Structures are given as C-alpha cells and as structure tokens.
C-alpha cells in the first residue's frame, strides 16, 4: 500500500482519538486500532517508514502510537 495513504489513515485515526483528554489513552486507542484493524503488512510498512524517516507526515499522536506499535511488535 502507498505509505502516504497509510500516513493519512493513521492521522485520521489519531484525530479521532485526540479528543480524549488523557494523552496515554489516545495513544492506546490509536495503537489498539492499528493492531486490530490493519493488516500486518500495513503495520510493518508504517513502522518501517517511521524508523527510516521519523515522524515524516504523521501527527504527534499517530507517531507516538506507531512507535508503541513498533515496541509491541519487537517483543
């Protein structure tokens, strides 16, 4: 899948969870959504993008969730 589209989708998900006043709950919400609803290849691609290019294009909340996803997948 096109990484720009994955970034757009991750940012849309993060925008939804940004309404939560608890930042950690927002990060958890985005991370859980990505784990439940994204195919493994989509998750691997967004994680690889962040590892190679940093937060390039991702909102702060989406980036934090992808970094947490990377940590979970590494375990």
Q: Cα separation of 20 and 15, whole Å?
A: 10
Print the domain residue range for 35.
Answer: 3-74
pLDDT tens by residue, 20-63: 999 999 999 999 999 999 999 999 999 999 999 988 999 999 99
pLDDT band of 75, cuts 50, 70, 90 = low
pLDDT of residue 32: 97
Listed in sequence order, the residues at least 6 apart from 68 whose beta carbon sits closer than 8 Å to its beta carbon are: 27, 31
pLDDT band of 1, cuts 50, 70, 90 = confident
The count of domains in the chain is 1
């Amino acid at each position: 899948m096109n990484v720009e589209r994955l970034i757009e989708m991750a940012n849309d998900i993060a925008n939804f969870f940004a309404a939560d006043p608890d930042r950690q709950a927002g990060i958890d919400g985005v991370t859980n959504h990505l784990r439940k609803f994204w195919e493994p290849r989509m998750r691997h691609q967004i994680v690889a993008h962040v590892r190679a290019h940093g937060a390039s294009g991702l909102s702060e909340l989406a980036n934090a969730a992808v970094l947490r996803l990377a940590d979970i997948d590494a375990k």
